[in-house]
Structures are given as structure tokens and as C-alpha cells.
Amino acid sequence: MVVAGVIGTKKLIYDLWGDAVNVASRMASSGEPGRIQVTTSTYERLRDTYRLKPRGTIQVKGRGHMDTYWLRGRRDQPEPKTTPAPGLSDNQDSGGNPDTMAQPSETGGT
């Protein structure tokens, strides 16, 4: 559930609260530049229309371990050529291969 509201009496600010907002923020902050990371529930909704690749399990603050996926594009469009993420060589997989994926403790994540 997401709750929205206006805060303030002189300078009004519109804001959103809720678990979905927190998880979306964590997906964005624990992702990689130029890539879209989604949760299992989002994967379930998108998998028939979009190409998704398992990233693996990540530690998400306030939620514990979560399985996540990379959104790769629409199924009806060709998959773009990819280049390695910054800091990875051409033979490393940044897309969720557990054998090559950095663990949170190795990246300084929480």
C-alpha cells in the first residue's frame, strides 16, 4: 500500500510513503547505472511482455535478502548489444551470474 499526502502549511510538499516506495528506492540505489532492477513481484507481472534476466539475491536494507532481475527490454524488440558495466572486463557477467556477481560485503553495500 502506498499513502500520499501534502505536508506543510506555508510551503506545501507532496510526498509518498509505504513499503512499495521504500522497495523501489532500494532497487534504484542498489542497481547499476543505466540498468533497471526489479523485484520478483514485478518480474511476475512483466515476464510475458519483457525480457528479464536474473541478477541473483541481494541484501536489501529493511527487507533482508531479495531475488532481483534486470529488465532487458520488450520481447517484441531486438535485444541491444551490451557493454560491460564500469569496472568489469568483457569476460565478466554483470547480469546476475552468481559466480561473478559481487556480494554486498565486497561492494560496501548494506
75 belongs to the catalytic site: no
Q: How many CA atoms lie within 13 A of 70 on its CB side?
A: 17
Report the run of H or E that residue 105 belongs to, with start and end: helix 104-107
Of the candidates 45, 61, 74, 75, the residue annotated as catalytic is 61
Residues 68-98: b if buried by 16+ CB within 10 A, e if exposed: bbbbbeeeeeeeeeeeeeeeeeeeeebbbee
26 belongs to the catalytic site: yes
Task: Classify 75 as helix, strand or coil.
Answer: coil
Q: How far apart are CA 44 and CA 92, in angstroms?
A: 27
By annotation, the residues acting in catalysis are 26, 61
